[in-house]
Amino acid sequence: MYPYIQNAQDYLAEKCLLMDSHNVQASKIAFLKIQSWKFSLKTPEVGIRYQQEAEEMVKQSFLSYVPNSFVLSEEGFHFSEIAN
């Protein structure tokens, strides 16, 4: 009699396909959003408003700029090898 070994390969494959599908859908939505922004920037009065909204969204999102040293220190990386 063979010992029971749980095989999660089907589950992991399905989860991978689902995550890939979500990424494809999100990238399509982002691409369409960027296309609509580029198209609207050709209209001067609408373009200025969209540029302001885009700047506000970037400032309020996770895409805001932080220096590399801040990220490294938050992750626990130290500049001296002994402290790592």
Q: In the chain, what's the furthest Cα-to-Cα distance?
A: 76
Averaged pLDDT for residues 57-83: 71
Q: What is the pLDDT of residues 17-68, one digit of tens each?
A: 999 999 999 999 989 888 887 887 777 777 777 778 877 877 777 666 677 7
* Domain contains 52: yes
* Domain contains 21: no
Find, among 60, 56, 36, the residue nearest to 47 by Cα. Answer: 36
What is the domain range of residue 70? Answer: 36-75
pTM value surpassing 0.75 = no
Q: Is the pLDDT of residue 80 over 70?
A: no
* Domain contains 18: no
Q: What is the reported pLDDT for 68?
A: 76
Total count of domains within the chain: 1
* Structure-block tokens of residue 48: 């200025």
Using CA atoms, how far apart are residues 24 and 35, in angstroms rounded to an integer? 16
